[in-house]
Amino acid sequence: MKRVIFQPEHEAYREVVREFVTRDLAPFAERHRSEHSIDRKCWQRAGEQGLLGFFVPEGYGGAGYRDFRFNAVQGEELARLGYAYASAFGINTDIVAPYLLELTTDEQKRRWLPPYAAGRTIASIAITEPGAGSDVLGIRTTATRMGSGWVLNGSKTFTTNGSSADLIIVAAKSEADKPSRSMSLFVVEADRAKFGRGASLEKIGQTEAETSELFFDDVFVDGSSLLGEAGAGFGYIVERLAQERLSCAVAALGHARGALEETIEYVRQRSAFGQPIGSFQATRFRLADCQTMIEVATAWVDQCIDAHVHSLLTPVDAAKAKLTATEVQNKVIDHCLQLYGGYGYIKEYRIARAWQDARVTRIFGGTSEIMREIIGRSLALTDEHA
């Protein structure tokens, strides 16, 4: 089905992203995998071509296009090369960006946005801790007032881009916060004394992206590092989760689409019993299922993108998008891998890596169980949720 949400300017942008992927990322992918990191030159090339600042206002070094369809095009195209690229760049453009655009003063914007749009600043967001992931309110990192600033203590884990990040949004509990449901957000510049990071964690997939532990041991940040109001951090996070989840959904389907196209090509070429494996009814039926699942999920996700462009996306609809798209992605890629036979199990094959990369999308950005919880609560099955 023809997708109707994109206009010519979005398709033109798709070409820009495709060119960037072909020229500036794909030739270096092997190195990114072995080094568990996307090198700074790639970030700078992305910045030079406007991929990291299209949404930043012109006065702060960007192009001023605040339209999630550009984010969607970018996420889809990056995920085709490898989901890790959508994860790493998506942290900047889809997840950190709304905090820096919406919660900052002019002075903070002047300080952080120009190098960010230019690809000189890599960003991350550190909410998850060893003891608290799904349960965001369970974090233990603290922020204590000291003079005009704050002192941070605690540790974070699973921080995407964490090993290279120059600027990290950190969630911490402060004494200003109401005990149970509140926290504050700080932008920590990585040159702060006593800030430390562990090596990038060894993952089963998405090896190009950094996933790191961060340590705050009496790290002092000045007062202007606070994002928005002290104590309002949990609300800020919740308000921005819908875009984060939509971003995961978009990339998941882009990833699945790419894998399906490559598999269709493969079953045309590969023969068994004297005929292409694509000629077997079992293959045809399996791929028909895959294409149907992707297209049906795309219809919902596109509707969510359109709703988001009009500021109408609800957390429940975003949860449905992430739940569906990531489950479809994992099913489709698993079916595709099966059609590669033994080669599907060999890491040199892109389908094997796609399968490894896909697994985490049902976990990060809110697990599938948490998505079901959000959707289930909206059904008002008990008086508590009515």
Ligand X SMILES: Cc1cc2nc3c(=O)[nH]c(=O)nc-3n(C[C@H](O)[C@H](O)[C@H](O)COP(=O)(O)OP(=O)(O)OC[C@H]3O[C@@H](n4cnc5c(N)ncnc54)[C@H](O)[C@@H]3O)c2cc1C
Active site residues: 244
Stretch that binds ligand X, among 34-42, 129-137, 289-297, 336-344 (CB under 6 A): 129-137
CB of 320 to ligand X, least distance (A): 16
* Residue 67 binds ligand X (CB under 6 A): no
Helix axes 233-269, 281-309, angle to 10 degrees: 150
Q: Which residue in 326, 296, 313, 337 sits closest to 86, CA to CA?
A: 326
Residue numbers 105-124 binding ligand X by CB under 6 A: 124
**Measured from the CB atom, is 91 or 151 closer to ligand X?**
91
CB of 95 to ligand X, least distance (A): 8
Cα separation of 157 and 128, whole Å? 6
Out of 118, 126, 325, 336, the residue judged to bind ligand X by CB under 6 A: 126
Contacts of 369-375 with C-beta under 8 Å, sequence gap 24+, read 369/134, 370/134, 370/319, 371/245, 371/319, 371/320, 371/322, 371/323, 372/323, 374/315, 374/316, 374/319, 375/316, 375/319, 375/320, 375/323
Give me 65's structure tokens.
């296009």
Out of 256, 290, 360, 371, the residue judged to bind ligand X by CB under 6 A: 360
**Measured from the CB atom, is 207 or 283 closer to ligand X?**
207
* Residue 215 binds ligand X (CB under 6 A): no
* Residue 264 binds ligand X (CB under 6 A): no
DSSP letter at 275? E
* Residue 207 binds ligand X (CB under 6 A): no
* Residue 154 binds ligand X (CB under 6 A): no
Give me 255's structure tokens.
């990833």
If binding means CB under 6 A, how many residues of this protein chain bind ligand X?
23
* Residue 71 binds ligand X (CB under 6 A): no
CB of 161 to ligand X, least distance (A): 7
Q: Name the CA radius of gyration of the chain, rounded.
A: 21
Mask for 27-56, x = binds ligand X (CB under 6 A): ------------------------------
Residues 6+ apart with CB under 8 A from 28: 39, 42
* Residue 125 binds ligand X (CB under 6 A): yes
Tell me the CA distances in angstroms from 185 to 126, 141, 154, 164, 173, one per residue in order: 10, 11, 14, 20, 9
Helix axes 68-81, 281-309, angle to 10 degrees: 150
CB of 74 to ligand X, least distance (A): 18
CB of 68 to ligand X, least distance (A): 20
* Residue 172 binds ligand X (CB under 6 A): no
CB of 365 to ligand X, least distance (A): 6
Give me 340's structure tokens.
């590669």
* Residue 155 binds ligand X (CB under 6 A): no
Interacting residues with ligand X (CB under 6 A)? 91, 124-128, 133-135, 158-160, 203, 211, 360, 363-367, 369-370, 373
